[in-house]
Structure 1
Amino acid sequence: MRGQNQAYAVSVVMPAMNEERNILQAVADVVDGFQRTGVSGEIVIVNDGSSDRTGELAEGFKAQYPFISVVHHERNLGIGASFWDGVQHSRGEFVTMIPGDGENCASEILRYLPLMDQVDIVVPFVYNRGVRSFRRRILSITYREIIKASFGLSLNYMNGTVLYRKAILDGISLRAAGFFYQTELLVKTILNGYLYAEVPYALLRRGGGDSKATTLKSLGKVARAYLGLMGEIYLGGWKRGPIVPDSATARRGKDIEAAP
C-alpha cells in the first residue's frame, strides 16, 4: 500500500448500499488481503445512495487509511453504475469489484494477480457452491446457459469479482447500471478478443441483511439489460475495436508474430 499520490497495482471498487452491518468486515478483509498477498492496492468505496450509516462509516475508513477514497451517490444508481464510477476514480493498473456485503474474500482474487502477466481478464467461479441456496444455484445455472446460447460465451460464472486490466475498459461503453453490468463487460471484452482465464474462488456467507441480486426488481432490470445487449450486439452494429497496445493480449500477439 503506497502514499496518496503514487500509483497502485490494483484498485478494489467497493459498491455499498445500506451495508452498515457488513462494510466493516468487507473493508477489513480487503486490507487483510493486501497485506497477506503483498499487493499495493487501494479501495474506492462507492456509497450508492445509502439511507443508513454506510456513508458515515466509509468516511471513517477514508480518515483511517490513506489508500481508501469514497464516492457518494445522492440516490441509488445501481451496482453497475457504482462500479463504473469507481473505475473512473481509481488509480490502479488492475481493477476489480468487491461488494460491501462481506460475501467475498479479497485474497481469493488477489492471489491471481500474477496471471495478469498472461491475460487481461481473470474470471472467478464459485467452487464452494453449497454456500449459496438451492434457488440461487438454479438461477446461476439457468443464467449461464442463456448467456452461452445468446453470445457463445462459455463461462462458469459471470457475476463475481472479475479482475480486469484497467486499460482495456477505456473504450467500453457500458449500458447496464444494475447487476447485468459484469456480464455486459465480459461479453464485450471477450468478444473483442481479449485473453482471459477462469479460476476457482471461494465465497463467504453474508454477515447480515439480504442479497439484492435476486429481488424481482433486480431480475427485471437484468432481463431488460440482456435484451438491450442482444439488440446492441446483433442489431446495433456492434463491432470489435482495436486491441489496446498496453495489454497482455497485444504483447502475446507480438510474441507469436515474432516466433520463427
Structure 2
Amino acid sequence: MHPSDIELSVVIPVFNEGPNIGPLCERVRPILDRITGAWEIVFVDDGSADGTLAAIAAVHAEEPRIGAVSFSRNFGKEIAIAAGLDHARGRAVVIMDADLQHPPELIETFVRHWREGYVMVYGQRTDREGESAVKRGFAQIFYRLFERFGETSLPEGAGDFRLIDRKGVEVLRVLGERARFSKGLYAWVGFRQLGVPYAVAKREHGTTKFSFRKLFRFAFDGITSFSTIPLRVWTYVGGVVSLMAFAAALFFAIRTVAFGSDVPGYPSLIVSIMFFSGIQLISLGVIGEYIGRIFAEVKRRPLYVVAERIGGAAQTGDTLTRDAPRVAHL
C-alpha cells in the first residue's frame, strides 16, 4: 500500500508490554477493518527489555500493516509519542496505550467525529476509581494549577488517547522541544477539538510504568514547560520577605531607642537563618530547573535514536528542523 493511500494510523508506545501485544492486535484489527481497509499500526518500542519486539515481529509476519520502530534505549513515553507521529503515515493518527485500558472500540467514535470536521478528538476519562485518594487529589491540584498559570487550559481527564488529523500532526512534528509535555502541546496547537467520555478498563497484563515520583516529575515538567510563574513567584516572595525584614528592622530600631538594647535570642537567630536559607535554596532550585531545560535545548541532540524497524513505516523526520534532526539512526 502506498503511504498516501493510508487513511488511519494507530500509534502505540510500548515499554515491556510483551504479553499485551497479541490481545491488543486481536481487538484493534477488526475495528480498523470496519472503519477502513487503509490502516496501519505503528508500535514504538521504548527500549523494552522483555519480548515486546519479538511479539510485534510475530504479529507483523501475520499482518504486514503492523510495524514497529525500536529505540536504542528507553527515552520515555513522551518521546515515543513524538517518534510515533514522525513515522505514522495516515491522514489521521490515533494515539493509544498498549495495556487495553484505552478501549479500542472508541476509535470508531473518534473517526466518525473526525469525518465531521474535528481536527482532534480526545478520550476524556470519567472515573478514577482505580487510583488512590492521594493520586486523585494531586491530579486535581495539577489541573487547577495548570488552568490558573499555564498558557492554555487542559480538559480534565484528557490524556494521550486521541485522534489527530494530519494537519495537527504536522504542527506537532515541527515542535522539536526536548522537555515534552504532550497534553499541553495538544491544547497549544489549537484547531477544532472534541472530547469523548470513556471509562478506563482494567489492565490485562503487567503493571503501570508510572511511579508516584515519575508522575510528580511529569506534572512539574508540564507546569514549567507552559508557564514562567514558578520563576516569577520568587520575585514576589523576595519582595514580601524584604518588606518584612525592613519592618522588623524599623521595629527593633524604635524599641532600642525607646527601651535600650537587649540581648539577641540565639534560637530566633538560628530559625531566621534556616528560614531564609531555605527560601534561597528553593528559589535557586527553580531557577536551576529552567536553566537545565535551556541547557538541554541548546545541545540540539536528536529526540531519539532508532535502532531497528519492523514493517514499512518510512518517515524519519530528519529535516523537520533547521538546526538539528529529531531522529538519529544506527
Verify same fold: TM over 0.5: yes
Which whole-Å deviations, capped at 9, do the CAs of 1:43-87 have from their partners, x for residues lacking one? 001111001100111111221112111100010011111111111
Tell me whether 1:98 sits opposite 2:96 in the alignment. yes
Tell me whether 1:112 sits opposite 2:110 in the alignment. yes
Q: Tell me: CA distance 1:9–1:75, structure 2 relative to 1, closer, same or farther (3 Å).
A: same
Q: Tell me: CA distance 1:139–1:159, structure 2 relative to 1, closer, same or farther (3 Å).
A: farther
Q: Which residue of 1 aligns with 2:139?
A: 140
Q: How does 1:220-235 map to 2 (within 5 A)?
A: 220-231=217-228
Q: How does 1:162-177 map to 2 (within 5 A)?
A: 162-172=162-172, 173-175=175-177
Q: CA deviation at 1:8?
A: 2.0
Q: Which residue of 1 aligns with 2:9?
A: 11
Q: How does 1:6-155 map to 2 (within 5 A)?
A: 7-38=5-36, 40-116=38-114, 117-151=116-150, 152-153=152-153, 155=155
Tell me whether 1:196 sits opposite 2:175 in the alignment. no
Contact 2:110 2:122 in 1 (8 A): no
Structure 1 residues 125-134 or 64-73, which shifts more?
125-134
Which whole-Å deviations, capped at 9, do the CAs of 1:119-161 have from their partners, x for residues lacking one? 2111221124435454443343233222222234151223240
Contact 2:8 2:90 in 1 (8 A): yes
Distance 1:147 1:219 in 2: 14
Which of 214, 220, 223 is the aligned partner of 1:217?
214
Which whole-Å deviations, capped at 9, do the CAs of 1:213-257 have from their partners, x for residues lacking one? 34313421441343033249x999xxxxxxxxxxxxxxxxxxxxx
Q: Tell me: CA distance 1:215–1:40, structure 2 relative to 1, closer, same or farther (3 Å).
A: farther
Q: Which residue of 1 aligns with 2:187?
A: 187
Contact 2:100 2:201 in 1 (8 A): yes
Q: Tell me: CA distance 1:109–1:135, structure 2 relative to 1, closer, same or farther (3 Å).
A: farther
Q: Which residue of 2 aligns with 1:239?
A: none
Distance 1:27 1:177 in 2: 31
Structure 1 counterpart SS, 2:124: strand
Q: Bigger radius of gyration, 1 or 2?
A: 2
One-letter code aligned to 2:107: I
Q: Tell me: CA distance 1:154–1:57, structure 2 relative to 1, closer, same or farther (3 Å).
A: closer
Structure 2 counterpart SS, 1:123: strand
Q: Tell me: CA distance 1:132–1:230, structure 2 relative to 1, closer, same or farther (3 Å).
A: same
Q: Tell me: CA distance 1:230–1:41, structure 2 relative to 1, closer, same or farther (3 Å).
A: same
Structure 2 counterpart SS, 1:118: coil
Which whole-Å deviations, capped at 9, do the CAs of 1:82-130 have from their partners, x for residues lacking one? 1111111111111121112221111213322121232211122112443
Contact 2:110 2:162 in 1 (8 A): no
Contact 2:7 2:91 in 1 (8 A): yes
Distance 1:174 1:218 in 2: 22
Q: Give the share of equivalent positions with the same residue, in percent.
A: 21
Structure 1 counterpart SS, 2:74: coil
Q: Any stretches of 5+ residues in structure 1 without a counterpart?
A: 237-260
Structure-2-length-normalised TM-score: 0.62
Structure-1-length-normalised TM-score: 0.77
Contact 2:6 2:40 in 1 (8 A): yes
Q: CA deviation at 1:174?
A: 4.6
One-letter code aligned to 1:175: E
One-letter code aligned to 1:184: G
Q: Tell me: CA distance 1:32–1:127, structure 2 relative to 1, closer, same or farther (3 Å).
A: farther
Q: Tell me: CA distance 1:131–1:160, structure 2 relative to 1, closer, same or farther (3 Å).
A: farther
Q: Tell me: CA distance 1:229–1:128, structure 2 relative to 1, closer, same or farther (3 Å).
A: closer
Q: Which residue of 1 aligns with 2:265?
A: none
Q: Any stretches of 5+ residues in structure 2 without a counterpart?
A: 233-289, 291-330
